[in-house]
Structure formats: structure tokens, C-alpha cells
Structure 1
Amino acid sequence: MILRMIVCIIMCGGLFGLGWAAPAAAESLRIGEPLCHAVSGTVAAEGAEPPAFSCSGEPAGYQQGTLWLHAMLSPEAGTVDGERDDLSLIIHNSRFDRLIVTFFYADGAVERQDVRSGDFGTHWRAGGQLAFRAPHRDVPLVGVTMQFDKLASARLLRMRLVERGEESTQTTGLATLIGAALVLLLAGAIYNASLAFAARRQFSAWQSAWAVCMVAWGACWSQLHLFFFPAMAGAISAQICTGLSCLAIALATLTAVTALEAPCVSRWLRRSALGLTGSVFALGIPLSFMRSGPIDTLGSVLGMLVLANLVAVGACIAQAWRRGSAEARNFAGAWAVPMMVLGSTSFFDADSMFWGGGSQILVLFAAAWQTLWLSVTATRSHALLRAERDLARQAEARAQDLARRDALTGLPNRRGFIERVGAVLAASRTRGEPVALLVIDVDWFKSINDAFGHEAGDVVLERIARCIAPHESATCTVARLGGEEFAMMLAGMAGFDLMRFAESLRQRIAEQEHGAVIRGRKVTVSIGMATTSGGADFRTLYRLADEALYEAKRAGRNQVAIRLLEGAEPFADDQHLTGGPDLPGGHDLDLRKG
């Protein structure tokens, strides 16, 4: 968290440093320094002369009429190192009906340029600015007059005189900054929308809506939308920007307040933040439509409400953080930059920063920072949730597997065996393959436990399981059914191959060394086998295999006995399985009789 805050401070410092790095050649024009003003209560006729100019006080009564602003320029204006460079007048405010700019030259020549709301021609620039280039002449520029018809607010005007070369550089730099911020916001909007859809998260949906709103506001404020909708130039875009900015504040607050866990934020504090947000949005609606009236007063009230709203959201985040909310820590980093930006611009003039982009460009980058920060934290939280879900699924799968495996031998238990043989039997019926079930029982196992103890018996079972386990495959399922009884289900094997397999398994188990644990005693098994080449269910096969096992036991143990299910191919009359090495005489078993 500390590292993130350091990065945040470095980025803010970089942006502020970039903003203050404006060239010294740019000259800000303000009413009274050096602009003088004149006002007409009605819209002046074409070519009408302005009343007498006043160079003190604030203009008033111009909202339904015309406001003239005039500046006298020194002959050295636009001169750098003795070389004359043409000047450009940059104006930032578009809530007016018409603007006429008049340039006065030392030889008495006059040049006029004008724009109207809905038609800015080639004068608009990125960053909500208008550029009027004084035509090149051999004589110096000595004055400039701006005539605004039905201007909404003179206090919101921002005007600068810059050299022609600097104007191009600043315009390009400002457009690049705005484009970068809008791309970041758009990427954040798309990402959060996809995250909201995939993860069903309300927070991501609010965040996506806020980012979309900021993209729309940034496009309107910067005038980049005029590439596609040139008729929206002027007052209508400014009014839309006011509404979008208030909507963005409301969405940002909803994003933060709804994401914080209810127990972590007191009810009155949450309601205060939502109430202030509602007030901001409610006041923004009439301000969006106003072209005259107390716009400046209402704008100041709106600014105070926005600051109060920021304080309320900050208090919600701080309280939630103190109460252990993980979301609050994420929001602290996300809201730190916007709070610093909006709070700081209330105490110093940022209008001349960022080549005329002013506080708006700061807000745009603060919004980009916020959406990127929250997108990263949302991704991290989502990744952690996915990791936890995957671990839970793996644990569940392991638990399911353990529930179906014998703890001592690691072989499937009776439950796991029955589940698996169902698939083997179904596949065999489909392919018409023979199936055999082998039930394997350890001979005289109780005597081993009685003579050497249950631990020795467990060792014997483990070593027998090692002989059986390697045969487990897609066509062979093995298990320990319980006690000293094991089982195997074989598919696709019949006749002599099946008999040889069963006999070799019996011999391998009989040859297994158990060492000192049972003092070198040999351990044998009896195998009962049931086979069929037609359809059969597990219960029937198991019953027949169990009968065959008891027959092998009665025949002297260490035997393989077989039973054929009706429909299976019988063995030849001379086929027998003989007894193992611990029965020297052997016990012949007539396989045809089962």
C-alpha cells in the first residue's frame, strides 16, 4: 500500500510539474489585467461600435446582450530575440452565441474572425479551446478585441496570447494528453463491463458506467467529438459537459459507497454521502440548461457540494478501513488522487496549467488513475477468488477421491470400485467385449493377524496391493473390497488369456516376499472368477465370482476357480487350473463345472 501511495505522489508531481512547465511566452489575459470591458444590454448589431471601455470592476448585464473585451498590446508583443513571430489568441469557454475577434495593427489595419455556437469552423482545438491566429503583417499587432454575444459567464473565460509556433506545440501536446487519458478510461470501462458480466459484480458495473460517463465528458469537454458532430460546437456541448460531470460524481460515489461492506460504514455516514451526491446531481440538472441567471453563484455552491461529497466519501473509506474492510484499502488508493486534485484546485489557480487544459485535464487524468487502480484491484480480488475456488474444487475432488479409496492400500474401496465397474460394463456391452470379475481373498489371513499382530497383517495387505495396483487401467479396475478381500474387473479378455492372467497373478502374489514381519512365511490367495461374453450386471458377476472363490477355498486354497455366466463361451473339456506351490499334490478343478 505504501508503495502504491509513493507511485501516486510521483505521478501527481510529474503531472503538476508538466503543467507548470508552460512557456514564458504565453501571456494570460484577464479582465482588468490587461483587459478592459464594455457591455451592451442587448445584442449589438453587426459592426456596431462598443460603448466606452472600463478597465476596473467586473462586467455585468451581458448575459442577454454583448460583452466586449479589449487589450492594448505593446509593440514588443510576439517578438523573441528581436525576431517577430505571429500571435494566436487562445480562448477557453464556449457557452455563448457568437464570438468576434478583431486584431488591430500599428498601421490601422483591422482583421476580424468569428465563430458561432454550432459552427466553430477551423478554430476549435483540443482541450475545449478556440484558436484565432493573427494574420502575418510587417507591422506589429497593437490590440485585440473580443465581442461575445449572450455569454453565460465572464468569470469562466480563460484567454491567452501565445506565439504561433507555441500554439501548434501546445495544441499537439494537449491533444496527446487528452487522447491518452480517454484511451485509458475507455479500456477501463470495457474491462469493468466484462468483469461485471463475468463475475456478476455490482461494483464493476457501477465502475464501468462511471468510466463511460467520464469518457463522454472528456470527449465533449475536449471538443474531440466535433470530428464527428461539428454542429454540437459551443453552448450545447458545454451544457452536456455540466450534466455529465455531475452524473460522473454521482456514479463515482455510488461505486465507492455500495462496494464498502455495510457493517464497516455507519448508516448515517453512508446516507450523508448519498445525500450529498443526490444534491450535486439535483443542482447539476438546472445548471446544465442555464444560459443566464446566477450561474456563477450556483457554480460556487456546486463546487462546495462536490468538496463536501468528497469529504463524506473519504470519511466512509477511512471508517471502513479502520474497521478492517479490504475494499476500503483499495478505494483509498483510488480516491487519493481525485481528492488531491479537486481539493488542490480549489485553493490555487490551475487555469494556465497544461497549456490551457487547466483543472479539467487534471480531473481527466485523476479519473484515468482511479479507474485503472480499481480495475487492477478488482482483477487481483477476482484472481484471489478464482484461486480460492480452484483450491476448494481441488480439495473437494481430493476428498471425493479419498472417500472412494482405501486408506491402507491406496486402491479404490468398495464404493469407488462399484462406481467404476458400471462404466466398464456399459462400455463392454456397447462393444460386445467379454468381461471378467476376479475376487481375490488372502488365505489364512486371520492366523497371520493372530500370530504376528494386526500391523503385520497391514503390511501383508499393502504388499499384495502392490502386486494388484499396476494392472489398473482403462480396461481393468482394481479395488480392496474390505478386510483381506480384493477385486479386479477385466474387459476384453477371455479364454486362455484370462486363465493365464489369473494364474500368473496368483503366482506373483505367492512369490511376494514379506520378510521378517511374518518371519518368512509365505502368503497365498484364492481367486474366484466369473466371466461372460454377453450383458451382465455387477451383482450377478459378483455372486458367481464369490461362489467360485468359495469353491477354490474348499479345494484347498491357493487356487483359481471360475464360473461362466450363461451366454459365455465354455472352455475345452481338458482345461484345468492346478494348485499352487504350497499344495504339492495340487488340486485339479474342473473349469467346466465352475
Structure 2
Amino acid sequence: MNARILTRGLSRHRLAISCAMFSIALLILGGAQPARAELLRIGDPLCHAVSRSIAPDDTRPSHFVCNGDPDGYQKGTLWLHAALPQGSRDHEDLSLIIHSSRFDRLVVRFIYRDGAVEQQHVRSGNFGTYWRAGGQLAFRAPYRDVPVVAFTLRFDRVASAHLLRMRLVERGEEATQTTGLATLTGAALVLLIVGAIYNASLALAVRQQHAGWQAAWACCMVIWGACWSQLHLFFFPSMAGAVSAQICTGLSCLAITLATLSAVTALEKQHLDAGLRRTALGLTASVCALGIPLSLMRSGPFDMLGNLLGLLVLANLAAVASCIGQAWRRGSSAARRLGGAWALPMIVLASTSFFDADAMFWGGGSQILVLFAAAWQTLWLSAAASRAHARLRTERDVARLAEAKAHELARRDVLTGLPNRRGFMERTCRMLEGLPVSGGLVALLLIDVDWFKSINDVYGHEAGDHVLAAIGRCIAQHENSSCAVCRLGGEEFAMMVTGAEVGNIEQFAQTLRGTLADLSHGDIIGNRMVTVSIGVTASASRVDFGTLYRLADEALYDAKRGGRDQIAIRLDEWAGARRNDRPLFA
């Protein structure tokens, strides 16, 4: 019970910490938006020009179009141009932040009021010092005495103009934002790594299918987060640009597939309709089937297929939510755990399809939301798994304790509390096996209550039970490592003693007989004395219990025939030759 309460408390503390952490992160991300950040979009204020083939480096568009959407740029060059408001010195210290996408080359040209132009460029596979954590590229306008009045961007073979996100911020704000976003991205990745390790170890320990899928999903999200945030460029700088973007697309689809498999396989089959299960698995297979080719595309109907993939993801989420809801209504405990874990990621993924998060969260957009939602889900499932397995462990310990108690009760006499015949046989067998090969002595005493039937007949069976219980308490005092006691059944008791000499065993049997005769049962049977007859045998080591019992039983009959309330002894020749006065107990 204490373990269960402790586990429940730990799980709640983990959950509270997760909630607080995620809430603080959202407050930081949402509340720290720079007041001067300006999201740049095509048409407002970005104008565009297109070349259907890759233009020479010195080519400049003759004019830009400021309305409509660009077309035909995927295998050529796309220019974007924006003029900044005149008459302000706010544009003297600017940074242009671009969220990297699938392109071969990007050239940024800052145009100053005096006509000077400063040019910076990156290409796929080489972002140099321009990349920032959080999937961003930062281009700082070199400081001059005159302000920047315009800038032009040139993209060669960009996959989609609609996926480009750009912001203008002051240089100080750019450093603050990118540092904060890197810190939060790193924190989310650390949580995901911990969750991935925990779930992987759990999958290996319990060998459950859904735990394995969950571990694979967490690992997939760790890799996706590292690629999206560009932190992997510390180790693999040549993966910058299109390669990483393509990997991220494939990993996101794979993560959705693994998460769905984790949820569906965790739900018990009796709590979920087979048709609904097949629908969820079919939708996730469709997501994977469309996502893999989309991740390899560099041109073509990229935007249309992306929108179709988004609809499939929403349908997949709805199917998983329906599976969890149905299993929850039917009493599935796994569904209750999954409900809390999946609630936030579902809300996040669904909400990003209905509102534009690109300008939010320091430019992290929907990706940073997904990353924190994944960390939330991993923490929730880890805490839930810990609690569930701790509960199972507690139940197992309780079951083992109950089994041990039942095992002990099966070897104990209920009335007297002494071991019964079964328990006595097990104990004596171990005692006999532990004796030395030669030179040891073992004795067996059979104790029978005299005229016990008359006690039951005159005073009733309840009085007889009281007498037997009193005798059992007296005999139990002698139980130790060298003396085993028991109630064989009815009014017959037994004791086996090792490590004593025959003369001392005779003395011990006489003392025991007198002690039992002196027991007072006045409140039960008045002044009637209760006596016992004791049959004693002693033999050499390695003797079997059957031989001992036969000799002791014959001695007991000798005591009965001799008039009761006495002891009788039968010894083998070897034991008879060892009569001396060695103490009974060491």
C-alpha cells in the first residue's frame, strides 16, 4: 500500500512538473515576441520575379510583380524584393531571419540609401556561419552610415515559395530570439532523449509491442527535432539545406505512423472494434505512403500534395481519437493513459491547420509547438508507464506475500499454531539431511494426550480444543534450530531433537511430561488433570524418518500399556551405547 501511494505521488509530481514546464515554455515563447519583428509575405511587402531556368549570377530582374503568386520557379530562380519605409534610422541595424527550406542557393542583397549593395549567400550543404538553432538563417546587414532602404532575395530551385518564412528584426533582438529559441529547443530535445531512452529500456524489459512503438516514435522525434532545429549541423554541416528539409518531411510522416501504431497496439482488442482499428492503421499507412514520395520531391505539385498530406494527418488524428474514445468508454485503462498523452499533441497538430503560427514563438512556428507537444506526450507516457508497472509490481509483491502466507498456513495447524504433519515432515527432512555423516544423534518424541476422548465427551469439543491449544503453546516454546515441533493430528504431538545425548533426551522427556501435566485448565474442565504419554526413540545419523517414527510409535504404545502418564524409550544399539550426560541444547 505504501509503495502504491508513493508511486502515485511521484507520478503526480512528474505530471505537475511537466505541466508547469510546458506552460512556462509557452509563456516565454508566446510572451517574448519582439515588438519590432515584421513578418514578410509574398505580396505584402514582398514583390517577386521568376526565371524558369537558373539565371546567371549577375542577372537582375527588370521588374517585380507585387500581386499574385509566383509560378514556374521550382527548376529556375525566384527573386523576392522589398523596399523599406524611408525617413527612419531604424533600418541601420537590421537582421533578416529566414527559415530554411528546400533550395539549392540563397543570395541576400542589402541595398543602402546611397546605392551601395552588400551581398551574402549560402547554398545547400554549406550554410557557413549563417545558420541558427530553430531552423533559421540569420543575415545581418553590415553597419554603414546610411540605413538600408531595400533588400533582394534570390532563391535557386526552391521547392515552395509558400513555405518560406522571413522576418526583419533589429540585431539585438535577433541575438536574443535565436538564443532563446536554441535554449528551448535544446530543453525539448533533452526531454525527448530521456523519454526515448526510458521507453526503449521499458520495451526491452517488458517486451510489449506498444512500448517498442512508443520508443521508436520518441527516437524518431529526437532525430526530427535535431534536423529541424539544425543542431545536427554541429556534427554534419554538409547536411544543411535541402537534405535536412527532405529528411524532416520523411521523419514527420514516420513519427505519425509510429505514434499511431503505439496507440492502437496499446488498446486491448476487446475494447476496440476491428473496423475502427483498421481505419486508423489504413490512414497512417496512407500518410506514410504519401509522405515518403513528398520527402523526395524537389519540384512538382508540392503545395497541393502538402495540403493533401495535412488532410490525411487530420483524418489520422481523428481516427486515433475515436479509437481512444471508444476504448475509454468500454473501460480500457490503457485508453485513459493514452487520452492524457495524446490530448495536447492532437490539439496542437489540429490547431496549426486552422491558424497561422508562423509569426509566433520567436519564429519557431508550428514546429516548436510540435516539439514541445511531443516532449509532453513522452513525459506523460513515461510517468503513466512507471505508475502502471509500479502498480503491477506492488500487486505482484502482494500476491507473492499472499502466496507465502498461504504456503505457511498450509503447513500450520490452525488450532495450536504449530506446524502440521506436512510442515513437520519438510522441516525434519532438512534437519536429517544437515546432520554429519557419522557421529550425530537424532531423537523423536511422540506425545499423546491421555484419555482425551473423555474430555470431549464430558466437557465438549470446545473444551478439548482449549486443552490442545494450551498444550500446543507449551510445546511451541521449545521450537528452535535444533528442535522441530508439530501437531500430528487429533491429540498427538511430535518433537524432533538433534545434537543431544540419549540421557539428556530422557531427562527432557520427563521434564516435558511433568510440565504438561502441571498445566492448569481449571476455567475449562475444573480440577481435572490432563496427562500425556510420551514415546521416545533415538538413533544414529542418516536414519530415515520412517524408522524413527516406527520406533517412537512402538515406545508410545509401551507407555500407554504401562499405565499412561509416563515415558517409554526404544533405542537402537548404536544410540544405546552413547548414554552420557551431555547437555540437551548447545
TM-score by length of 1: 0.92
Equivalent residue, structure 1, for 2:75: 64
Q: Residue 9 of structure 1: CA displacement? A: 8.5
The letter for the 2-side match of 1:49 is R
Please tell me whether the aligned partners of residues 416 and 468 of structure 2 are also in contact (alpha carbons under 8 angstroms).
yes
Q: Residue 573 of structure 1: CA displacement? A: 9.8
Q: Distance in 2 between matches of 1:541 and 1:395?
A: 35
| Change beyond 3 A, Cα 1:189–1:8 | closer
Higher relative contact order (CA 8 A, sep 6+): 2
Please point out which of 398, 409, 422 is paired with 2:416. 409
Please tell me whether the aligned partners of residues 534 and 567 of structure 1 are also in contact (alpha carbons under 8 angstroms).
no
Please tell me whether the aligned partners of residues 77 and 141 of structure 1 are also in contact (alpha carbons under 8 angstroms).
no
Equivalent residue, structure 1, for 2:538: 531
Q: Distance in 2 between matches of 1:524 and 1:475?
A: 26
- The alignment status of 1:332 with 2:339, answered yes or no, reads yes
Equivalent residue, structure 2, for 1:194: 201
Q: Distance in 2 between matches of 1:8 and 1:304?
A: 30
Equivalent residue, structure 2, for 1:50: 61
Equivalent residue, structure 1, for 2:42: 31
Q: Among the aligned pairs, what percent are the same residue?
A: 66
Equivalent residue, structure 1, for 2:312: 305
Paired residues for 1:140-539 under 5 Å: 140-429=147-436, 433-539=440-546
The Cα offsets for residues 4-32 of structure 1, whole Å up to 9 and x where unpaired, read as 99999987765554443201111111111
Q: Residue 561 of structure 1: CA displacement? A: 2.2
Q: Residue 329 of structure 1: CA displacement? A: 1.4
Equivalent residue, structure 2, for 1:73: 84
The letter for the 1-side match of 2:418 is L
Please tell me whether the aligned partners of residues 97 and 137 of structure 2 are also in contact (alpha carbons under 8 angstroms).
yes
Structure 2: stretches of 5+ with no match in the other structure = 1-7
| Change beyond 3 A, Cα 1:14–1:535 | closer
Q: Distance in 2 between matches of 1:419 and 1:195?
A: 40
The letter for the 2-side match of 1:71 is A
Partner of 2:47: helix, strand, or coil? strand
Please tell me whether the aligned partners of residues 184 and 372 of structure 1 are also in contact (alpha carbons under 8 angstroms).
yes
The letter for the 2-side match of 1:32 is G
The Cα offsets for residues 446-502 of structure 1, whole Å up to 9 and x where unpaired, read as 222222111111101000000111222222211100011111111212233333322
The Cα offsets for residues 151-190 of structure 1, whole Å up to 9 and x where unpaired, read as 0100000001111111111111111111111111111111
Partner of 2:49: helix, strand, or coil? strand
Please point out which of 20, 33, 39 is paired with 2:30. 20
Q: Distance in 2 between matches of 1:342 and 1:213?
A: 17
Q: Distance in 1 between matches of 2:412 and 2:295?
A: 71
Please tell me whether the aligned partners of residues 94 and 117 of structure 1 are also in contact (alpha carbons under 8 angstroms).
no
Please tell me whether the aligned partners of residues 503 and 580 of structure 2 are also in contact (alpha carbons under 8 angstroms).
no
Q: Distance in 2 between matches of 1:368 and 1:273?
A: 23
The Cα offsets for residues 348-375 of structure 1, whole Å up to 9 and x where unpaired, read as 1101111111000100111111111112
Q: Distance in 2 between matches of 1:13 and 1:395?
A: 45
The Cα offsets for residues 119-178 of structure 1, whole Å up to 9 and x where unpaired, read as 111111111111111112221111111111110100000001111111111111111111
The letter for the 2-side match of 1:40 is S
Q: Residue 95 of structure 1: CA displacement? A: 0.8
Q: Residue 320 of structure 1: CA displacement? A: 1.3
Partner of 1:155: helix, strand, or coil? helix
Please point out which of 112, 119, 129 is paired with 1:122. 129
TM-score by length of 2: 0.93
| Change beyond 3 A, Cα 1:120–1:566 | farther
Please tell me whether the aligned partners of residues 564 and 570 of structure 1 are also in contact (alpha carbons under 8 angstroms).
no
Higher mean alpha-carbon deviation, 427-436 vs 207-216, is at 427-436
Please tell me whether the aligned partners of residues 538 and 575 of structure 2 are also in contact (alpha carbons under 8 angstroms).
yes
The Cα offsets for residues 236-279 of structure 1, whole Å up to 9 and x where unpaired, read as 11101111100100111111111112122222211111111010
| Change beyond 3 A, Cα 1:9–1:412 | closer
Q: Distance in 2 between matches of 1:380 and 1:365?
A: 22
Q: Residue 314 of structure 1: CA displacement? A: 0.8
| Change beyond 3 A, Cα 1:35–1:567 | same
The letter for the 2-side match of 1:48 is T
The letter for the 1-side match of 2:214 is Q
The Cα offsets for residues 193-249 of structure 1, whole Å up to 9 and x where unpaired, read as 221222222121111111111111111111111111111111111101111100100
Q: Distance in 1 between matches of 2:88 and 2:128?
A: 27
Q: Residue 566 of structure 1: CA displacement? A: 4.3
The letter for the 2-side match of 1:531 is A
Q: Distance in 1 between matches of 2:36 and 2:507?
A: 101
Q: Distance in 2 between matches of 1:102 and 1:565?
A: 114
The letter for the 1-side match of 2:374 is A
Please point out which of 106, 124, 132 is paired with 1:99. 106
| Change beyond 3 A, Cα 1:13–1:343 | farther
The runs of at least 4 consecutive aligned structure 1 residues that moved more than 4 Å come to 3-17, 75-78, 571-575
Please tell me whether the aligned partners of residues 534 and 568 of structure 1 are also in contact (alpha carbons under 8 angstroms).
no
Please tell me whether the aligned partners of residues 412 and 423 of structure 2 are also in contact (alpha carbons under 8 angstroms).
yes
Q: Residue 117 of structure 1: CA displacement? A: 0.7
Partner of 2:161: helix, strand, or coil? coil
Please tell me whether the aligned partners of residues 249 and 291 of structure 2 are also in contact (alpha carbons under 8 angstroms).
yes
| Change beyond 3 A, Cα 1:459–1:46 | same
Please tell me whether the aligned partners of residues 532 and 564 of structure 2 are also in contact (alpha carbons under 8 angstroms).
yes
Please tell me whether the aligned partners of residues 435 and 491 of structure 1 are also in contact (alpha carbons under 8 angstroms).
yes
Structure 1: stretches of 5+ with no match in the other structure = 576-594
Equivalent residue, structure 1, for 2:3: none
Equivalent residue, structure 2, for 1:88: 95
Q: Distance in 1 between matches of 2:451 and 2:157?
A: 111
Higher mean alpha-carbon deviation, 489-498 vs 55-64, is at 489-498
Please tell me whether the aligned partners of residues 38 and 69 of structure 1 are also in contact (alpha carbons under 8 angstroms).
yes
Please tell me whether the aligned partners of residues 197 and 215 of structure 2 are also in contact (alpha carbons under 8 angstroms).
yes
